[in-house]
Amino acid sequence: MSPPASGGATLAEILNILEGYDLRCFGYLSADHVHVWAEAAKRAYADRNAYLGDPDFVSQPTATMISDSYATRRRAEIRLEGATRSAQVQPGLGPVPANQSTTRREGDHTTHYSIIDAAGNAVSVTTTINSLYGNLVTLAGAGFLLNNEMDDFATEPGAPNQFGLVQGEPNAIQPGKRMLSSMTPVIVLGGKGKIELVSGTPGGATITTTMAQLLSNVVDFGMDVAGASSAPRVHHQHLPDVLLFEPSALREDVQTQLRSRGYTLRERREYSGDTQSIQVMSDGTLAGVADPRHGGAAVAAEAPMRSTP
Ligand code: DON
């Protein structure tokens, strides 16, 4: 998804950086795997936070962010021996041009669904009112909650929002401007535009890394979508400079190795994400996989899709 969602550009940057490593050779959730993963996410989120915002208001370097040459440059900054402190990870494309800045200083609940219909049309929809119950206000007679999406703006550039994201001037509040979102609905197309996978998730700032990890699990580790969805999740978003992992996701020895490389680790008390995915199997049947973290389970494959012209 393109700006004002940051998901597409950030996802592509993470995966392009990771493309330079033989992740499967590192071993799944080994220290080397988690390390390059976190370093890639840190850099992509540094760029996200610095450059992205509503394209009606700011031009932004998404084409560069998703290019192979830029990924090569960002990858070259990564040392296998140790973590780069987030304070040392700068946005990779220099300061935001002055005319992009605004001078103003102002001060959980999201849903994803994936659909493939009998004719082979796919939609991937993430919809959000931001926090639980939005801003806690319903419209009398209308029957729905109002959102508290204003927190997705950098309400005070440099200060963290509810997800701890420290975002920049391009995402500062302005009249008529849309806030930067982490939403990352995904449709993967194979050869000749054939749909391979539809997926997405809620989860605030972890949305993009959840999708990046799911795709990397499938592409780099050969997992099917059920395995890729249930695999433990790891998250880094540049600031705070903390590598988050789901309960019991990382072995003690991997944690020790990562700490010795300079990481601050935090084990989450709760699981992150709630992916809803459809994988098109090689025989054309559809496998629906709801994230087991929230009581979902893989469903039986549906009838084969009709072939499309
Ligand atoms: O668009 C965004 O990035 C946020 N409004 C998403 C919030 C969210 O996913 C909270 N639910 N888990």
Query: Model confidence over 197-222: pLDDT tens digits?
Result: 999 999 999 999 999 999 999 999 99
The whole-model pTM stands at 0.78
Mutate to test the pocket of ligand 1, among 1, 113, 130, 146 (most ligand atoms within 8 A of CB): 130
**What mean pLDDT is predicted for residues 136-144?**
90
The most distant pair of C-alpha atoms in the chain lies apart, rounded to whole Å, by 60
Name the residue type at position 306.
Answer: R
Cβ neighbours of residue 21 closer than 8 Å, sequence gap 6 or more: 36
- More confident: 300 or 95: 95
CB atoms within 10 A of CB 141: 5
The 3-class secondary structure across the chain, one letter per residue, is: CCCCECHHHHHHHHHHHHCCCCHHHHCCCCHHHHHHHHHHHHHHHHHHHHHCCCCCCCCCCHHHHCCHHHHHHHHHCCCCCCCCCHHHCCCCCCCCCHHHCCCCCCCCCEEEEEEECCCCCEEEEEEECCCCCCCCCECCCCCCECCCHHHHCECCCCCECCCCCECCHHHECCCCCCCCECCCCEEEECHHHCEEEEECCCCCCHHHHHHHHHHHHHHCCCCCHHHHHHCCCEECCCCCCCEEECCCCCCHHHHHHHHHCCCCEEECCCCCCCCEEEEECCCCCEEEEECHHHCCCECCCCCCCCCCC
**What mean pLDDT is predicted for residues 170-191?**
95
Supply the angle between the helices 206-219 and 31-51 in degrees, to the nearest 10.
Answer: 140
**Is any atom of ligand 1 closer than 6 Å to the C-beta of 181?**
yes
Answer whether 24's CB lies under 8 Å from 221's CB: yes
Residue 109 is predicted with a pLDDT of: 62
Distance 4 CA to ligand 1 centre (A): 13
**Is any atom of ligand 1 closer than 6 Å to the C-beta of 157?**
no
Residue 143 is predicted with a pLDDT of: 86
Strand partners, 110: 128
Residue 306 is predicted with a pLDDT of: 43
Q: Is the pLDDT of residue 103 over 80?
A: no
Which range scores top for mean pLDDT: 49-58, 70-79, 101-110, 283-292?
70-79
Banded model confidence at residue 256, pLDDT cuts 50, 70, 90? very high
What are the angstrom distances between the C-alpha of 56 and each of 4, 69, 166? 9, 27, 21
- The rounded distance, in Å, linking the Cα atoms of 178 and 54 is 5
Answer whether 148's CB lies under 8 Å from 134's CB: yes
Residue (of 178, 176, 171) closest to 155 by Cα position: 171
CA 109 to chain CA centroid, Å, is: 16
Name the residue type at position 113.
Answer: Y
**Is any atom of ligand 1 closer than 6 Å to the C-beta of 184?**
no
- The rounded distance, in Å, linking the Cα atoms of 173 and 153 is 6
**What mean pLDDT is predicted for residues 100-124?**
74
Residue (of 154, 171, 172) closest to 163 by Cα position: 154
**What mean pLDDT is predicted for residues 36-55?**
96
Q: Is the pLDDT of residue 308 over 50?
A: no
Which range scores top for mean pLDDT: 23-27, 94-98, 131-135?
23-27
Mean pLDDT of the residues in the chain: 91
CA angle at residue 189 from 121 to 281, to 5 degrees? Answer: 75
**Is any atom of ligand 1 closer than 6 Å to the C-beta of 216?**
no
- Closest atom of ligand 1 relative to the 151 alpha carbon: 5
Please report, to the nearest 10 degrees, the dihedral formed by the alpha carbons of residues 15, 130, 58, 74 taken in order.
Answer: -20
Residue 95 is predicted with a pLDDT of: 83
Q: Among the options 62, 102, 110, 275, which is catalytic?
A: 110
Q: Is the pLDDT of residue 253 over 90?
A: yes
